[in-house]
Amino acid sequence: MHTALIRPASAPHRSRADDVYAQLKQDVAEFKLVPGDRFTENELSERLGVSRTPVRQALFRLQQEGYVEVLFRSGWRVLPFDFDQFEQLYDLRMVLETTAAQRLCADGDRVDRVLLDELAAFWLVPAAGRSTDMVEVSQRDEAFHCSLVAAAGNAKMARVHRDVTDRIRIIRRLDFTKQARIDATYDEHAKILKAIRAKRGDQAVMLLRAHIETSQAEVRKITLHQVHVARQGGAAR
């Protein structure tokens, strides 16, 4: 099936290879490409409506980042998950987010209260007002954690955290294939936000640490079967 690439109006400087790279990363995050999938440059070129040159450039970039590998005379393959790398990324995420929580509670001059208010508007709602859309909650969950770090006012920390978030996106989205995890995420985010707004630093860090550790523990249980089930669920949407 042909998939037209749409270049965002806000990014006129992006190359065609950048667009292909972004689309393939999205395909991985949405389980349209899963570990073990094989494909050729010609197949991608036809599907995306571009020449092979930007496709090849995008694939080499993804290869450097550990998403795909080139197969001798038989195209490309999506690599299996590197769980050791995910563990390391989760450890880094823990340091960044708990540090941000401490700074938010210290109420420094650089804290962005508007960002925190925007988070509260979505997460601090009655049960009847909660979203049940798994894709939306997954995206909002990612935005919650990125916004917490960004609100702390350290742009370098926020940039590193965004890179970590990008690398663990597919794993975290598997969490939101279960309704129980969606409900728990609302409850846990609400408690974290309330602690931060009350400037209870130790409690906020404890809650955030437990929240991340729960997600990290789920990562260790992921199977390829779950990934394929998630792909089937996405195709049915």
Every domain of the chain and the residues it spans:
16-78, 83-236
pLDDT digits (tens, 9 = 90+) for 196-207: 999 999 999 999
Among 50, 173, 158, 138, smallest CA distance to 22 is for 50
pLDDT of 3: 61
Q: Count Cα atoms within 13 angstroms, Cβ side, for 220.
A: 8
Structure tokens at 103: 């700074």
Q: What is residue 9's predicted lDDT score, i.e. its pLDDT?
A: 46
CATH of domain 83-236: 1.20.120.530
Dist. CA 36–CA 166, nearest whole Å: 20
pLDDT at 118: 96
- C-alpha angle 193-221-81 in degrees, rounded to nearest 5: 95
> What pLDDT, on the 0 to 100 scale, is given for residue 180?
82
64: Cα separation from own chain's centroid: 19
Average pLDDT, the chain: 88
Which of 40-44, 210-214, 221-225, 230-234 has the least mean pLDDT?
230-234
CATH fold group of domain 16-78: Arc Repressor Mutant, subunit A (1.10.10)
Distance CA 163, CA 7 (A): 21
CA atoms within 13 A on the CB side of 99: 14
Q: What CA–CA distance (Å, rounded) separates 203 from 158?
A: 22
Sheet (strand 38-39) strand order: 38-39, 75-78, 68-71
Bridge partner list, 39: 76
pLDDT digits (tens, 9 = 90+) for 140-198: 999 999 999 999 999 999 999 999 999 898 888 777 777 788 889 999 999 999 999 99
Q: How confident is the model at residue 89 (pLDDT cuts 50, 70, 90)?
A: very high
Residue 38 parent element (H or E): strand 38-39
